[in-house]
Every structure is written in structure tokens, then in C-alpha cells.
């Protein structure tokens, strides 16, 4: 994402808590700052992309004293709706504007500039950020502060649930005597077709659990989904089951791709295993 901004001609100062992770941006034309204050003190726009809400809050709190009045801070991390609102409240006394703008599309979408960008905030701030967003993907303003995070959680709810359902379908084909690979080919193009059936269905057949979208990320997002549902006084029974499935994989497979949902189902159904290929991690 940062690389696309540099290539589009935006002057970029990069900072990472682990400095070495930012160094690959230097050959592209970015300046790598040694400190957080150095990175943000002269910025018109600051973008954060971090692991989780508490980390975002800590970093924003650290930078807040040096942010200039009128700066626009955009958090593109995946956090709780409540955390996005808390960050906005933290910035208001300094007259710093805020957008929450989580993304979907993974590394491939980031490299291609095709990310789905879900934005919460005001129309004015959204229009100010739109040219920057459009370098990275397709932005949509979905409501006031925190709404971007809700939209991302809706995305993850659908993704996580579909991954789990594809795993169940694969295991049912195996247990019922059908060829799971042929079953997948047969239903593709019908109403069950999806990118998840295409990509993660193949990963399951290959037993390729090398990290892409990781189990720990889905577990975190599903915990946030359940928290958002509780705040909204909603019952989400199917998502609660999927949340339990991903959290149950954290002990042994936190770093594995989310296709490893298959492993939880195989453990539940002792003696049933999809195919004969060795597991890849």
C-alpha cells in the first residue's frame, strides 16, 4: 500500500515499530523515519496500518502531541467500532480529523491497487482522502466514524463463515464417497461459486496451510464481530460457531492460513481426512 503511494508520486515518510520492515520502501523513494514524531510532525495526512485496536490507540496517543491542527489521520487497521470512536474522541481536542478505513483484498489486492476500502467518517474528510484511497483501491463511505470497522467485520463474517462451510462441504464429499476435487469442479459456476471456493477450496485439496490470511487474524476479527453484535444487542448464532472454530485453532495453528479451518473439522470428525497429501505449513 505504501509502495503504491510512492509510485503514484506522493511524498511519503514511513515509520515502523520494527524499523527494518520499513527499509524496503527506501529504494522506491520513501523516506524512512527513525522516530514516530519525525514521521508525522509535518504530515498533512497520516495513515496507520497496525495489528489491532490497542496497538493503534497506543501509537495514536504517542503521536498526538506533535500532530498539526488540520491533519487527517486515517486508520486502515482492523479494529473494534468502539476503538475507532475512541480514537476520534482522542484526536478531537487537537482538531485532527479522523477516518477509519479498513481494507479487504489481502496482499494481492494491496499490490494491484484493488483493495476494497470501507470508510467511516464525514463526507468532507472522505473527499479529501479519496485521491489517496483510489491509488490503493476502491473506497466507499459507509457511514459515520466506526462504520468502516463494522463493514469490515461484515466482510470477515462472510469470509470466515464461507471458509468454514467450504471445509464442511469438502469433508462431506470425502466421507460420503465422492471425489472432493470432482465435487468442487462440478459445483463451480453454480450458485455456490465464490472466490473462497476457488482459492481456499483448492488450498484445502492441496492441504496448503502456508500463511495467507491467518487463523489468528480471523479469530481476532470474529471476536470483534461478537463484541459488535453484543453492543448492538444482536444474536448471531452461526457466526458464534465460526468464532469458536477459529479460536479453537489458535493454540496449534495460529500462524496457518484460514483454510486450516479444515483441520478443526477433521479433529472433530476423527478418522475422516481430506485426501492423502501431506500438510504444508
Which positions are catalytic? 152
What DSSP state is assigned to residue 68? P
| Bridge partner residues of 104 (DSSP) | 116
Residues near 136 by beta carbon (within 8 Å), at least 6 away in sequence? 1, 4, 5, 103, 110, 113, 115, 117
Give one word for 255, left, alpha or beta, with left for phi > 0 and alpha for psi -120 to 50: alpha
Residues near 205 by beta carbon (within 8 Å), at least 6 away in sequence? 170, 180, 181, 184, 274, 275, 277
Report yes or no: 85 and 146 within 8 Å, Cβ to Cβ. Answer: yes
Q: Is 16 exposed, middle or buried (0-12, 13-18, 19+ CB in 10 A)?
A: middle
Say whether 64 sits in a helix, a strand or coil. helix
Amino acid at each position: 500500500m505504501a509502495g503504491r503511494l510512492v509510485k503514484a508520486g506522493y511524498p511519503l515518510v514511513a515509520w515502523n515499530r520494527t524499523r527494518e520492515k520499513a527499509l524496503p520502501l527506501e529504494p522506491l523513494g520513501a523516506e524512512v523515519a527513525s522516530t514516530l514524531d519525525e514521521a508525522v510532525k509535518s504530515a498533512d495526512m497520516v495513515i496507520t496500518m497496525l495489528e489491532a485496536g490497542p496497538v493503534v490507540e497506543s501509537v495514536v496517543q504517542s503521536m498526538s502531541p506533535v500532530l498539526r491542527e488540520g491533519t487527517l489521520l486515517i486508520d486502515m487497521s482492523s479494529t473494534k467500532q468502539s476503538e475507532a470512536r475512541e480514537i476520534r474522541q482522542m484526536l478531537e481536542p487537537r482538531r485532527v480529523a479522523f477516518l477509519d478505513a479498513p481494507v479487504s483484498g489481502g496482499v494481492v489486492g494491496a499490490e494491484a491497487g484493488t483493495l476494497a476500502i470501507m470508510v467511516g467518517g464525514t463526507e468532507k474528510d472522505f473527499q479529501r482522502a479519496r485521491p489517496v484511497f483510489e491509488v490503493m483501491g476502491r473506497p466507499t463511505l459507509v457511514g459515520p466514524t466506526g462504520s468502516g470497522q463494522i463493514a469490515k467485520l461484515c466482510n470477515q463474517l462472510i469470509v470466515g463463515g464461507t471458509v468454514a462451510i467450504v471445509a464442511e462441504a469438502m469433508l462431506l464429499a470425502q466421507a460420503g464417497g465422492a471425489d472432493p476435487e470432482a465435487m468442487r469442479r462440478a459445483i463451480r459456476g453454480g450458485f455456490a461459486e465464490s472466490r473462497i471456493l476457488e482459492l481456499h477450496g483448492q488450498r484445502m485439496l492441496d492441504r496448503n496451510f502456508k500463511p495467507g490470511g491467518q487463523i489468528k487474524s480471523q479469530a481476532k476479527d470474529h471476536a470483534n464481530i461478537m463484541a459488535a453484535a453484543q453492543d448492538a444487542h444482536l444474536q448471531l448464532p452461526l457466526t458464534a460457531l465460526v468464532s469458536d472454530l477459529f479460536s479453537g485453532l489458535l493454540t496449534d495453528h495460529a500462524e496457518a492460513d484460514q483454510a486450516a479451518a479444515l483441520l478443526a473439522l477433521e479433529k472433530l470428525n476423527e478418522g475422516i481426512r481430506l485426501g492423502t497429501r501431506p500438510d504444508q505449513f
